[in-house]
Chains A and B, each alone.
Chain A
Amino acid sequence: MSNLFTISPDFSPDHISGWYIFNTWLQKQTGEAIHLEMYNDFHSQREAIKSDKVDLIYANPFDAAMLVREKGFLPLVKPLGRADEAIIAVNAENTVEDVAHLLPGIRVAVTDDPDVHLMGMIMLEPGDLDANNVNINVCDTYVLVAKHLLRGDADVGIFLAEAYDNLSNMIKSQLKILVRSQISVIHHSLMIGPKLVEKRDKFQSLLVDMSNDAKGKGVLEGLGIDAWVGIEDEEMEFMIDLMDTLNT
């Protein structure tokens, strides 16, 4: 029976074909039948996880606690040198220079990316802002978050730092960063579910070695990843505890 592999829906659209090629590589290397299923949003992906359909997942850190503690998933690898960080930005013409000077009632443009949303809202707290006194506008993409700022439809945008950095220079020149997070320890993780867990060591060593092989390196390039780094159980538990403290 085929195993189901899914990717956190916040993946960059540039890498869709890369994930399909990665899945083919994974099947060849492990000898397992693996079907890649892309969900359009976090809600439908979580429904699939809850009904035990998922066997492998490139997971958003926000979902790691549920995957490990409720569904028996274990961590395999994370991308080398790529932590999730968030940015709070405003229109360049906005006179506000500090989050502490933002006022209740502001319009905040976000995506449904849960860890970035969490980090962003934490960075708004010094301004006495929270979900109860701001107006949240959920956009499909970070480009749309930027457009809302440029059009003046939103006062503040919460971005994945990597997505912000990849915006065109023309867009970035019209925006202003108020805060960039420097958390360093929150990252996406490739995780393995209970049905495959006996093969965890095999999967992990294949993935860690992937960048040492020319073909494997080419596949990784299609994902925008330099190499996979193994994750120990305690490192994952630490990140889950950290997310838990932030989600308060």
Chain B
Amino acid sequence: MLHDMKHDDIVGDYQEITLNLFGNLTRKILYTQIETPYPDGKLIVSTTDPNGVITHVNQAFIEMSGYTKDELLNTPHSILRHPDMPPAAFKDLWDTIQKGNKWQGFVKNLRKDGGYYWVKATVIPNVRNGKVTGYTSVRRKPSRTKVEECIKLYPTLF
């Protein structure tokens, strides 16, 4: 279940927007301009079912997102969706992985406290006995140069 963000959870000055998400969901987003740096040496790992609902998260995911494990499990992965990310990026992601291919890109993720963090994400289909049973997403620390390129590029894709 995906809930609207709560004012009490937000740290710092914030803006408000309502996002349309995959699966005809809408969510009220409260977001700040505070960046959390990606921690050195860690990978953020999650798996979802074929509909993008979270089935597994690792500790780094919990720490960087700011949510508890219980808040994340059985929730759409779009809980991380930041309004600065162009919908075209996620359409490309879904088109790619639903064809059984690997997707890679730079993503600005939203935290529970309204802040954000940049990642280099790779998503692959989990194929078991010839059937896609879900998707695994692994995020690693991005290069700052690539992030700067995305900061310029993404606003042009809306």
Contacts and interface: CB of A to CB of B under 8 A. Distances in A.
State which size class the interface on B falls in: 20 to 34
B27 interface: no
Interface stretch (B66-74, B78-86, B137-145): B137-145
A128 B140 contact: no
A183 B43 CA distance: 6
B142 A185 contact: no
B124 interface: yes
Contacts of B104: 248
Contacts of A179: 40-41
Interface string B116-158: 0000101110101000000011101111111000000000000
A237 B128 contact: yes
B126 A125 contact: no
B58 A122 contact: no
A11 interface: no
A244 B41 contact: no
Contact of A241 (B42, B60, B126, B142): B126
Contact of B102 (A123, A125, A245): A245
Interface residue range, chain A: 20 to 34
Contact of B136 (A100, A182, A242): A242
Given A128-B143, A237-B126, A246-B138, A123 B58 contact: no
A99 B145 CA distance: 13
Given A127-B143, A237-B128, A245 B41 contact: no
B37 to A, nearest CB: 10
B140 A125 contact: yes
Nearest to A122: B140
B41 A181 contact: yes
A181 B40 CA distance: 7
A26 B38 CA distance: 45
B143 A126 contact: yes
A125 B138 CA distance: 15
A100 B145 CA distance: 10
A128 B141 CA distance: 11
Contacts of A180: 41
A123 B42 CA distance: 9
Contact of A128 (B41, B136, B145): B145
A125 B147 CA distance: 12
Nearest to B143: A128
Interface of B: 38, 40-43, 45, 47, 58, 60, 102, 104, 120, 122-124, 126, 128, 136-138, 140-146
9 contacts: A123-B141, A125-B140, A126-B143, A180-B41, A183-B42, A185-B45, A244-B102, A245-B102, A248-B102
Given A128-B143, A241-B136, A245-B123, 17 more contacts: A125-B120, A125-B140, A126-B40, A178-B40, A180-B41, A181-B41, A182-B42, A182-B60, A183-B41, A183-B42, A185-B58, A237-B126, A242-B45, A242-B136, A245-B102, A245-B124, A248-B122
